[in-house]
């Protein structure tokens, strides 16, 4: 099994020989420097081997010229290698600095409890990996929770529905709500490894409150609904009819 270490920046478990962390793009400068030195040594060794295989007469007659050409060629190759690697590092450093700024903005929205702006900013960016886990998970739960809450309220407030139509639509909204709650529970079961617990608990709590306060669902009914969930085709028709009758009457 390949040896692994923890990234010095984001703490993700990565291969010990990884120069760039695949999660946060942090560069291990020591490994990068060693890789560059190894490339240079390989180039010098390759050219030394070429010289060994040249005819002796050619080496004797053109020693000075040939050595000069070789030195120039090697120097040019090394310059290209150094510049290329430096350019790569600068590009990665620029991306990393940009990600640092993005994380700062996302954290400001997170701390302010403005999960809508946080989610919009995250999805509009190229954020990914361990450094963004907190915001990725929060954004996901926000999208599901906000959609579920809006749907539950809309079905209750739309006066154009008959009770049958309301129940038919409500079963869809219940399913979306249960899905949001189960996704939140999934992050909870994993121990909120990115410290997203405060937001996830708050958002999933708002979904539960809407189900209870708007539709009068009981704790037992909610528990049963979560228990029977299989996928996005799970049928909540019976529960929807019960809730509509309870709220709207016959």
The answer to whether residues 183 and 153 belong to one domain is yes
When pLDDT is cut at 50, 70 and 90, the band that residue 244 belongs to is very high
Q: For position 21, what pLDDT does the model report?
A: 76
| Residue 6 within a domain | no
Which of 24-33, 49-58, 128-137, 144-153 ranks highest by mean pLDDT?
144-153
The answer to whether residues 197 and 136 belong to one domain is yes
| Residue 140 within a domain | yes
The answer to whether residues 93 and 44 belong to one domain is yes
The tens digit of pLDDT for each residue in 6-48 reads 777 666 678 888 888 776 667 787 887 787 677 767 766 765 6
| Residue 2 within a domain | no
For residue 135, give its domain range.
123-248
The answer to whether residues 142 and 227 belong to one domain is yes
Residue range 217-223: average pLDDT?
97
**pLDDT averaged over every residue in the chain:** 82
**pTM for this entry:** 0.63
How far apart (Å, rounded) are the C-alpha atoms in residues 58 and 37? 31
Which of 34-38, 49-53, 219-223 ranks highest by mean pLDDT?
219-223
| Residue 5 within a domain | no
The answer to whether residues 37 and 81 belong to one domain is yes
| Residue 24 within a domain | no
The answer to whether residues 181 and 243 belong to one domain is yes
When pLDDT is cut at 50, 70 and 90, the band that residue 142 belongs to is very high
The answer to whether residues 157 and 52 belong to one domain is no
Is 95 a residue whose pLDDT tops 60? no
Share of the chain above pLDDT 90, in %: 53
When pLDDT is cut at 50, 70 and 90, the band that residue 69 belongs to is low
The answer to whether residues 192 and 212 belong to one domain is yes
The tens digit of pLDDT for each residue in 155-197 reads 999 999 999 999 999 999 999 999 999 999 999 999 999 999 9
> In terms of pLDDT, which residue wins out, 84 or 45?
45
Number of domains comprising the chain: 2
């Amino acid at each position: 099994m390949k040896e692994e270490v923890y990234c010095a920046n984001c703490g993700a478990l990565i291969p010990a020989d990884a120069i760039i962390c695949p999660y946060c793009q942090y560069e291990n400068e020591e490994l990068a420097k060693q890789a560059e030195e190894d490339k240079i040594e390989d180039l010098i060794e390759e050219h030394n081997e070429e010289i060994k295989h040249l005819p002796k007469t050619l080496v004797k007659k053109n020693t000075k010229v040939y050595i000069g050409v070789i030195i120039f060629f090697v120097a040019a190759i090394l310059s290209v290698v150094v510049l290329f690697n430096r350019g790569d590092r600068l590009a990665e450093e620029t991306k990393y600095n940009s990600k640092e700024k993005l994380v700062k903005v996302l954290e400001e929205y997170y701390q302010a409890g403005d999960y809508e702006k946080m989610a919009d900013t995250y999805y509009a960016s190229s954020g990914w990996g361990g450094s963004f886990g907190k915001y990725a998970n929060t954004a996901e739960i926000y999208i599901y929770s906000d959609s579920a809450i809006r749907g539950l309220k809309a079905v209750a407030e739309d006066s154009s529905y008959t009770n049958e139509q309301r129940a038919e639509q409500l079963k869809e909204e219940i399913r979306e709500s249960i899905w949001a709650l189960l996704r939140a529970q999934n992050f909870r079961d994993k121990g909120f490894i990115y410290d997203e617990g405060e937001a996830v608990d708050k958002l999933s709590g708002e979904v539960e409150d809407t189900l209870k306060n708007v539709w009068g669902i009981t704790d037992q009914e909610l528990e049963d609904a979560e228990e029977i969930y299989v996928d996005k085709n799970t049928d909540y028709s019976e529960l929807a009819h019960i809730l509509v009758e309870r709220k709207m009457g016959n």
